[in-house]
Amino acid sequence: MEWLRLFFLHPISFYQGAAFPFALLFNYICIMDSFSIHARYLFLLAGGGTLAVAAMGPYAVLVFTPAVCAVALLCSLAPQQVHRWTFCFQMSWQTLCHLGLHYTEYYLHEPPSVRFCITLSSLMLLTQRVTSLSLDICEGKVEIASGIIRSRSSLSEHVCVALPYFSYLLFFPALLGGSLCSFQRFQACVQGSSGLYPRHPFWTLSWRSLQILGLECLNVAVSRVVGAGVGLTDCQQFECIYVMWTTAGLFKLTYYSHWILDDSLLHAAGFGSELGQSSGEEEYVPDADIWTLERTHRISVFARKWNQSTARWLRRLVFQNSRAWPLFQTFAFSAWWHGLHPGQVFGFLCWAVMVEADYLIHSFANGFIRSWLMRLFYRTLTWAHTQLIIAYIMLAVEVRSLSSLWLLCNSYNSVFPMVYCILLLLLVKRKHKCN
């Protein structure tokens, strides 16, 4: 049972697993209608606070503080001003925390605290919820009475009004991981009647457990292969391509299993995909679409399906609001949101160039490939090339440091993104000539 030991040795997996009984209890409470709406909000908020303290220790203050400030801004500003101020404050706070990690890793040359890394991960998810809620308020999807804090209402009335927002920002099923849940969906789940909740979550959770089991078994097998071989520091020529591919495969398996675990926790609490949809409510989007990710031959499709809820959030937050170079602005912001490590900056900007090349290459190829045999050959070739480019980007983002990034760029692996860069330049030149 080595897979089980390795899986629960990961801190976030351990705490997510420990939260499962409480998620099922909350679902049961909602089904039985045994608690009031305010009691349900308090249950989720208390669970989030307890989980934060258990997982992050004293660093939990770094999550509680921006959550309190965000609610204060939401309740005191006009709807047109909410998003600008909450976005600036939240990203400034998160950037300062990431700079603390930079100071520890690159200046002190010390390994960061595991609890601090969990805190940063939770803080990034909090940024998603804060900006999603502020955009909903700004766009009129969520109505909130501005100036609540400045009014002369009693303290209990202030707390009752702010409770749903505190609960949404810190509710425990999504505190350490999981797909982005909109405030409308969150509110509908908490306030909804028992008829909205799935009657038999057992079978869905059992299927997800089997998926996690299979992925962790593969993870152990690939870990042994990677551990028995050489690394990027020792590989030579074409051997580096195999090292890159197997290492990236290990990263992908880890992400897939954690995303399914996070999705299972949300489902156990009643926030999952089987929940009935009400009019105007956003659909639940799981992060892991393994089938599409592993068979697509297009980098642009991979970018949209990798961590789907985050991709949709970035599209709404940055891409749709950018007037010039929206694609590059989106990937640049993603690098900022992830922490601006050297490997992350290089990896996300490289990904943006690859997506731009992907659009031009496939639109050009679809214009002259006619026979099914040539199309099959083209899809197979571009599938292999896509998987190798994604592996290259993934290693750049995950290794993060300049020394490791230099080893990657100085290897034969750089040939694959370089091919797409050359094709991009040629097709852009051809497009300008045609125009």
Report the catalytic residues: 307, 338
DSSP readout, 142-202? S---TTTTTS---HHHHHHHHHHHHHHHH-GGGTSS-----HHHHHHHHH--GGGS-S-HH
Contact (Cβ atoms closer than 8 angstroms) between residue 257 and residue 212? yes
**Distance from C-alpha of 335 to C-alpha of 304, rounded to nearest angstrom:** 16
Of 393, 388, 395, the residue nearest 247 (C-alpha): 395
What is the rounded CA–CA span in Å between residue 31 and residue 199? 9
305 contacts: CB under 8 Å, gap ≥ 6: 289, 292, 293, 296, 311
- Is residue 205 within 8 Å of 268, Cβ to Cβ? yes
The 3-state secondary structure of 339-363 reads CCCHHHHHHHHHHHHHHHHHHHHHH
Comparing C-alpha atoms, which of 345, 329, 361, 372 is closest to residue 430? 361
Q: Write the CB contacts of 24 (distance below 8 Å, at least 6 apart in sequence).
A: 201, 268, 269
Q: How far is CA 363 from its chain centroid? A: 29
| Integer Cα distance of 435 and 428 in angstroms | 11
Residues 393, 331 contacting (CB under 8 angstroms):
no
CA distances from 348 to 16, 335, 342, 343, 410 (A): 28, 6, 10, 8, 18
Rounded to whole angstroms, the Cα distance separating 389 from 299 reads: 8
For residue 78, the 8-state DSSP code is -
Instruction: Give the closest residue to 147 by CA, choosing from 89, 84, 72, 85.
Output: 72
Rounded distance between C-alpha atoms, residue 106 and residue 117, angstroms: 15
